[in-house]
């Protein structure tokens, strides 16, 4: 059995692009959650800094994330991400110490 692949991704947007980034990615949340390898997928926004977004994602394995990352809308965004971002993504790998609550 493969180990789950989990991380927190921080996206620090350019202040003038924060709303556009939110609009773009809100539309991706539900479809991402429907992908076969998705266990958890959450989009969050910092209350103190509205240009800072976080994604909490748990995938069945790295292969499932690779499938997600290769989808046309994800590759298109990745190529133009710096139009939205102040700095590139900060990705923190994590270990899940508790079971997913997504399907309770």
Please give the domain boundaries of the chain with CATH numbers for all domains.
5-94 (3.30.70.100)
Residue 59 phi, psi dihedral angles, 5° rounding:
-120, 155
Full-prediction pTM beyond 0.85?
yes
pLDDT at site 27: 93
Structure tokens at 30: 């539900």
Q: What is the DSSP letter of 43?
A: E
* Sequence-ordered list of residues with C-beta below 8 angstroms from that of 37, at least 6 positions apart, any chain: 59, 60, 61, 63, 64, 65, 67, 68
Return averaged pLDDT per consecutive 10 residues of the chain, 104 residues in all: 86 97 94 94 98 97 95 92 96 90 64
CA dist 61 and 15 (Å) reads 33
Burial of 59 (0-12, 13-18, 19+ CB in 10 A): buried
pLDDT at site 1: 42
CA dist 4 and 58 (Å) reads 7
């Amino acid at each position: 059995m493969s180990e789950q692949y989990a991380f927190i991704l921080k996206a620090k947007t350019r202040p003038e692009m924060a709303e556009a980034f939110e609009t773009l990615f809100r539309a991706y949340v539900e479809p991402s959650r429907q992908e076969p390898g998705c266990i958890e997928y959450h989009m969050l926004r910092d209350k103190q800094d509205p240009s800072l977004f976080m994604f909490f994602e748990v995938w069945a394995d790295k292969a499932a994330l690779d499938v997600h990352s290769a989808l046309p809308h994800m590759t298109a965004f990745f190529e133009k991400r710096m139009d939205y971002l102040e700095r590139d993504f900060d990705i923190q790998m994590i270990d899940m110490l508790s079971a997913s609550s997504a399907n309770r």
